[in-house]
Chains A and B, each alone.
Chain A
Amino acid sequence: SQQGEEDPQALSIQEGENATMNCSYKTSINNLQWYRQNSGRGLVHLILIRSNEREKHSGRLRVTLDTSKKSSSLLITASRAADTASYFCATDTGRRALTFGSGTRLQVQP
């Protein structure tokens, strides 16, 4: 079963716009991670936020975590065509596995 659920399932924006994706999960976590996947290939780690952190930045990425609401958001600022991909949140509950959501498919139009 998948703990995380991303919202929206699909998102289409113009280059230069910001993209926001949300993730909800069900149980307590040690950390939450965001990954990107291009065209059904391997996943690339983007950012990890620990359960005691509320916000984290990496380049054009901003991640927030609200453990009281069991939710996280990923913001990509000034999007580029190369950001077109599927984005997954993954939760680490300390049970030796990452639990992934079903992903958000982002299309950035040039």
Chain B
Amino acid sequence: ETGVTQSPTHLIKTRGQQVTLRCSSQSGHNTVSWYQQALGQGPQFIFQYYREEENGRGNFPPRFSGLQFPNYSSELNVNALELDDSALYLCASSPQGGTLRATQYFGPGTRLLVL
């Protein structure tokens, strides 16, 4: 098990609502990345935070936003939820920022269901 924790483990929302997912990175890790994994697919990169700033973004709309706090924990916010947002959301931390050279350590994920 990695030292990355995520909350909540499961969440049910309705279309149009907003959701906030949380992640605590492994001790000593200053970079946090978020991924979305649809059922039966591999994870897709949403964005990465390093030293409290967004440090790279995948092909996701602006209604996906995030924060990183001074203790390196992070939040993923999704506004105006759509049915296709139903997925497992994974947080990963790594000990290096800037260029991605290090292994990423994944949390257990938050399973979001949008009805």
Residues of A within 8 A of B (CB): 1-2, 4, 30-31, 33, 35, 40-45, 48, 88, 90, 92, 94-103
Quick check: B103 and A48 within 8 Å, CB to CB?
A: yes
Report how far A101 CA is from B4 CA in the complex, Å.
Answer: 23
Interface bits B27-61 vs A (CB < 8 Å: 1, else 0): 00000010101011111110010000001101100
- CB neighbours (8 Å) of A94 from chain B are 99-100
| A-B contacts, 25 listed (Cβ < 8 Å) | A1-B59, A33-B103, A35-B106, A40-B88, A42-B2, A42-B4, A42-B90, A42-B107, A42-B108, A43-B43, A43-B92, A43-B106, A88-B42, A94-B99, A95-B56, A96-B48, A96-B56, A97-B56, A97-B100, A98-B33, A98-B35, A100-B35, A102-B40, A102-B41, A103-B42
Q: Does B65 contact A (CB under 8 A)?
A: no
Residues of B within 8 A of A (CB): 2, 4, 33, 35, 37, 39-45, 48, 55-56, 58-59, 88, 90, 92, 99-101, 103-109, 111
Quick check: A101 and B42 within 8 Å, CB to CB?
A: yes
Report how far A101 CA is from B63 CA in the complex, Å.
Answer: 25
- CB neighbours (8 Å) of B48 from chain A are 96-97
